[in-house]
């Protein structure tokens, strides 16, 4: 059977807006996937929906879709699968339909996958014994229940396949495991069974490799200088075979690189036990695949091995956890580091004198290896640094007051301090992350195809 080509044109909300268009135009894809939802995106979308019942999805997708309409006419068989629906896949789908109708593509069918939103049922689930125990701290969710703003199960590939079976050309989902966006069209194309564990594992490896977009085509690569024309980096696609093996590449003429190094770096990216990568669809063994050079910017990945999926979905829950702000100043030497440290301490001391003591504060001197505090002990003394001071507190007023203490340091601290032209830093509300599991039997994915 002919392989199916699936390309991913978006790795996160905020990714390059031109990438999906370039990939769809040049990639000769069967399916374009677009991934928008990071761990905490749902909490932001939940608040948007609270303010406006029609909002709460990744609005970038609508702009992308509008620009894709000429390509959808040239490539009538191209399908799009995206989790842009976020907290409101129905609203996202309705607006997508309006765009398609406006472009005389009203005959395209839009599938909607929902059922991931657990918030409306959260109390009922808690009452019936589902504790949503924090996977890291083992605390029960009841300890923060009042502050929860979103709770979503990561659904798998099955409801997307159902939408495709019902004839959807475009599938808009809420929270779905990233790799499932790739597993679904493959399982649909080859009519896989849901206990074809090895095949599902292979497609999961593929989905994992392309879900972060340019990270597998030269982005973040340790030898990034060897990637040609990274400014024009091509986004990845996979040619999936029926046995779960695939090749990974990028459009001809695009920049970046696909080789054994870029692929192996991404294989382990954000992975725990590589022999047991858990998704709703399968437990995939990433150590079971062999990578082979298969031509310029082309790597072949052998079929993987998989184990039966677990009986639980991962649930991603977000709860309010106070407020944060961070401000920066630029400081030139001599003794730039000492001046920065003194300035930061001065700022905190000035707050203390007016009775303001944030619950947490952090002073860091960027330029000294502050990304990894204390680790790079032999780093040379920089001639110029950025002082960054951050605070967190449950009281917004405390954080507000902090944001007004940075500017005075330009005139009332050490000399050689600048970089304060963008005004007071914004106060942002903090949504903390609560990872948990939920029994698959109490989550019911829902599929609807707009006529």
Residues found near other proteins in the complex (CB under 8 A): 38-40, 136, 220, 222-223, 261, 264-275, 286-291, 318, 321, 324, 326, 360-362, 364, 366, 369-376, 388, 390-392, 430-433, 435
Q: Write down the least CB distance from residue 372 to other proteins, Å.
A: 4
Q: Write down the least CB distance from residue 267 to other proteins, Å.
A: 6
Q: Write down the least CB distance from residue 52 to other proteins, Å.
A: 23
Nearer to other proteins, 407 or 432 (CB): 432
CB-based contact 286:302 (threshold 8 Å)? no
Per DSSP, the residues of 218-286 read TTT-TTGGGSBTGGGBPPPEEEE-TTS-EEEE--TT-BB--SHHHHHHHHTTT-SSTT-EE-SS-EEEG
Nearer to other proteins, 149 or 157 (CB): 149
Nearer to other proteins, 109 or 361 (CB): 361
Strands (E), 373-412: 384-393
Residues 285, 213, 27, 181: is their CA dihedral positive or negative?
Answer: positive
Q: Write down the least CB distance from residue 323 to other proteins, Å.
A: 11
Q: At 356, list the tokens.
A: 């303001």
CB-based contact 401:13 (threshold 8 Å)? no
Nearer to other proteins, 16 or 302 (CB): 302
Nearer to other proteins, 136 or 439 (CB): 136
CB-based contact 108:167 (threshold 8 Å)? no
Residues 238, 240, 244, 247: is their CA dihedral positive or negative?
Answer: negative
Q: Write down the least CB distance from residue 322 to other proteins, Å.
A: 9
SS3 assignment, position 297: coil
Nearer to other proteins, 16 or 264 (CB): 264
Q: How many of the other CB atoms lie within 10 Å of CB of 166? A: 13
Order of strands across the sheet that contains 277-278: 277-278, 283-285, 305-307
List the Cα angle 53/84/433 in 5-degree steps.
Answer: 80
Q: Write down the least CB distance from residue 110 to other proteins, Å.
A: 32
Q: Write down the least CB distance from residue 184 to other proteins, Å.
A: 24
Nearer to other proteins, 320 or 440 (CB): 320
Q: Write down the least CB distance from residue 378 to other proteins, Å.
A: 9
Burial 126-137 (b: 16+ CB within 10 A, else e): eeeebebebeee
Nearer to other proteins, 223 or 404 (CB): 223
Instruction: Look at strands 384-393 and 312-332 and give their pairing.
Output: antiparallel
Q: Write down the least CB distance from residue 211 to other proteins, Å.
A: 12
CB-based contact 46:87 (threshold 8 Å)? yes
Nearer to other proteins, 33 or 324 (CB): 324
β partners of residue 312: 439
Q: Maximum distance among all alpha carbons in the chain?
A: 74
CB-based contact 250:258 (threshold 8 Å)? yes
CB-based contact 406:424 (threshold 8 Å)? yes
Q: Write down the least CB distance from residue 188 to other proteins, Å.
A: 28
Residue 200 buriedness (CB in 10 A; 0-12 / 13-18 / 19+): buried
Nearer to other proteins, 168 or 318 (CB): 318
């Amino acid at each position: 059977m002919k392989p199916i080509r699936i390309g991913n044109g978006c790795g996160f909300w905020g990714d390059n807006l031109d990438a999906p268009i370039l990939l769809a135009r040049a990639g000769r894809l069967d399916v374009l996937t677009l991934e928008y939802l990071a761990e905490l995106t749902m909490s932001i979308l939940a608040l948007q929906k609270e303010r406006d019942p029609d909002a709460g999805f990744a609005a970038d997708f609508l702009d992308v879709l509008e620009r894709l309409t000429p390509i959808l006419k040239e490539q009538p068989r191209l399908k799009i699968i995206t989790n842009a629906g976020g907290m409101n896949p129905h609203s996202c789908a309705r607006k997508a339909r309006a765009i398609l109708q406006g472009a005389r593509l009203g005959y395209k069918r839009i599938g909607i996958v929902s059922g991931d939103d657990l918030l409306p049922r959260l109390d009922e689930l808690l009452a019936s014994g589902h504790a949503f125990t924090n996977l890291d701290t083992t605390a029960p969710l009841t300890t923060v229940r009042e502050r929860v703003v979103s709770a979503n199960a990561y659904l798998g590939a099955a409801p997307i396949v159902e939408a495709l079976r019902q004839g959807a050309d475009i599938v808009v989902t809420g929270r779905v495991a990233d790799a499932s966006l790739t597993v679904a069209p493959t399982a649909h194309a080859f009519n896989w069974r849901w206990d074809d564990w090895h095949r599902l594992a292979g497609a999961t490896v593929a989905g994992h490799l392309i879900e972060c977009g340019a990270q597998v085509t030269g982005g973040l690569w340790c030898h990034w200088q060897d990637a040609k024309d990274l400014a024009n980096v091509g986004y990845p696609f996979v040619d999936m075979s029926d046995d779960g093996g695939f090749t990974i590449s990028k459009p001809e003429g695009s920049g970046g690189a696909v080789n054994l190094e870029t692929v192996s770096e991404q294989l382990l990216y954000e992975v725990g036990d590589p022999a047991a990568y858990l998704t709703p669809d399968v437990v995939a063994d990433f150590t079971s695949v062999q990578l082979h050079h298969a031509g310029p910017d082309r790597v072949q990945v052998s079929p993987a091995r998989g184990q039966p999926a677990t009986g639980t979905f991962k649930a991603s829950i977000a709860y309010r956890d106070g407020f944060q702000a961070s401000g920066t100043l630029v400081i030139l030497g001599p003794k730039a580091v000492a001046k920065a440290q003194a300035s930061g301490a001065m700022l905190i001391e000035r707050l203390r004198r007016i009775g303001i003591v944030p619950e947490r504060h952090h002073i860091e001197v960027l330029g000294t290896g502050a990304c990894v505090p204390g680790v790079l002990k032999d780093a040379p003394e920089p001639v110029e640094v950025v002082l960054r001071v951050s605070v967190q507190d449950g009281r917004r007023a405390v954080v507000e007051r902090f944001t007004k203490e940075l500017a005075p340091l330009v005139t009332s601290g050490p000399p050689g301090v600048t970089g304060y032209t963008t005004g007071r830093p914004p106060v942002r509300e903090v949504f903390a992350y609560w990872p948990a599991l939920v029994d698959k039997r109490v989550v019911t994915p829902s599929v609807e195809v707009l006529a």
